[in-house]
Amino acid sequence: MRNSLTLLTLVCLLFLTSFAALAQEPRTGHSGLPVPRFVNLKNSETWGRLGPSFDYPVRYIFKRQNLPVKVIAETRDNVWRQVEDPEGMTTWVHRSQLVSSNMVMITRDGGVLMRRAANPDASGRAILQQGVIVRSEICERRWCRVRTSDYRGWVPQNALWGTN
């Protein structure tokens, strides 16, 4: 009896571990693109709704063009995207209001030092403050090369919101 109970417990743990791992993996949405994934707000004003239709009331008005948001769900008809903003709020946005433009946001408290190379010992180029949106060019070995209007350099990937 005790061996049967132990075996049953192990099988349940294996099942739950496998299910949790699957929940973390990207899946293909109705658009044919991975979900979750990051996109950016196309306009300087974007309405986020309580549900996936113009019939639902506006929950929040985003006032920041290029803000990176995470697509966490898509409607079956491929028209609406449920998105999560950098602060964790979720809302529904029409697909016409989103664009993939590789813009990311600095999230580290106190900002982050942009470096000349992907190395914590490399010399600094600029300090990027928390909330600044920059273009991500490439990410490798936990570092991303980003560009502002004046500078180009490397920042740690864990200081950014919007990298896949």
Please state the rounded mean pLDDT for residues 123-149: 97
| Domain parsing of the chain, residue ranges | 26-101, 104-161
Please state the rounded mean pLDDT for residues 137-156: 97
Q: Are 49 and 81 in contact (CB under 8 A)?
A: no
2-19 pLDDT tens trace = 555 444 444 444 444 444
Q: Are 48 and 61 in contact (CB under 8 A)?
A: yes
Q: How many CA atoms lie within 13 A of 97 on its CB side?
A: 26
What pLDDT was estimated at residue 164? Answer: 80
Q: Regarding the domain with residue range 104-161, which homologous superfamily does it belong to in the CATH classification?
A: SH3 Domains (2.30.30.40)
Q: Report d(CA 125, CA 115) in Å as an integer.
A: 5
Residue in the block written with tokens 């990937």: 157
40-54 pLDDT tens trace = 999 999 999 999 999
Rg (CA), the chain: 20
Give the number of other CB atoms < 10 A from CB of residue 48.
22
Measure CA of the first residue to CA of the last residue in the chain; give whole Å. Answer: 47
- 104-161 and 26-101 share a CATH fold: yes
What is the CATH code of the structural domain delimited by 26-101? 2.30.30.40
Q: Report d(CA 64, CA 78) in Å as an integer.
A: 24
Helix or strand (DSSP H, E) at 138 = strand 133-140
CA dihedral 108, 143, 122, 152 (to 10 degrees): -80
74-133 pLDDT tens trace = 999 999 999 999 999 999 999 999 999 899 999 999 999 999 999 999 999 999 999 999
Partners of 105 in the β-ladder? 133, 161
Q: Report d(CA 61, CA 72) in Å as an integer.
A: 19
In the chain, % helix, strand, coil (3-state, to 5) comes to 20, 45, 40
What pLDDT was estimated at residue 1? Answer: 54
